[in-house]
Structure 1
Amino acid sequence: MQIETLRDVLLWTKEFHQHLSQCLSHCVDKNTDERARMILAYLSDHEESLTKVVNGFETTGNEHALNTWCYEYVNKQPVVQHAHCDAPFSELDSEQIIEIIVNQHQQVIELYRFLASRADIPSAREMLTSLRLLEEHELMRMVQSTNRFEDM
Structure 2
Amino acid sequence: MEIETLRDVLDWTRKFHEKLSQCLSNSVDKNSDERARMVMAYLADHEQALAKVIRGFESTGDEDALNTWFNEYVNKTPVLQKVHSKTPFANLNASQIMEVVADQHQQAIELYRYLARRADIDSAQEMLEALLSLEEHEIMRMTQSTNRFSDM
Smaller-chain TM-score range? Answer: over 0.9
Q: 73-82 or 119-128: which moved more? A: 73-82
Count how many residue pairs are aligned between Structure 1 and Structure 2: 152
Q: Relative to structure 1, is the Cα distance of residues 86 and 117 closer, same or farther in structure 2, using a 3 angstrom cutoff?
A: closer
Letter in 2 for 1:23: C
CA deviation after TM superposition for structure 1 residue 84, in Å: 6.9
- Equivalent residue number for residue 57 of structure 1: 57
Gaps of 5+ in 2: none
Letter in 1 for 2:91: E
Does 2:102 correspond to 1:102? Answer: yes
Give the alignment of 1:1-152 within 5 angstroms: 1-80=1-80, 83=83, 85=85, 88-152=88-152
Contact 1:16–1:82 (8 Å) recurs in 2:
no
CA RMSD across the alignment: 1.3
Q: Relative to structure 1, is the Cα distance of residues 92 and 137 closer, same or farther in structure 2, using a 3 angstrom cutoff?
A: same
Q: Which SS does the other structure have where 2:91 is aligned?
A: coil
* Percentage of identical aligned residues: 66
Q: Which SS does the other structure have where 1:30 is aligned?
A: coil
Gaps of 5+ in 1: none
CA distance in 1, matches of 2:68, 2:86: 35
Taking structure 2 as the reference length, what is the TM-score of the superposition?
A: 0.97
Cα distance per residue 1:83-103 (max 9 Å; x no partner): 373661000001110110011
CA distance in 1, matches of 2:112, 2:37: 30
Q: Relative to structure 1, is the Cα distance of residues 3 and 86 closer, same or farther in structure 2, using a 3 angstrom cutoff?
A: closer
Q: Which SS does the other structure have where 1:90 is aligned?
A: helix
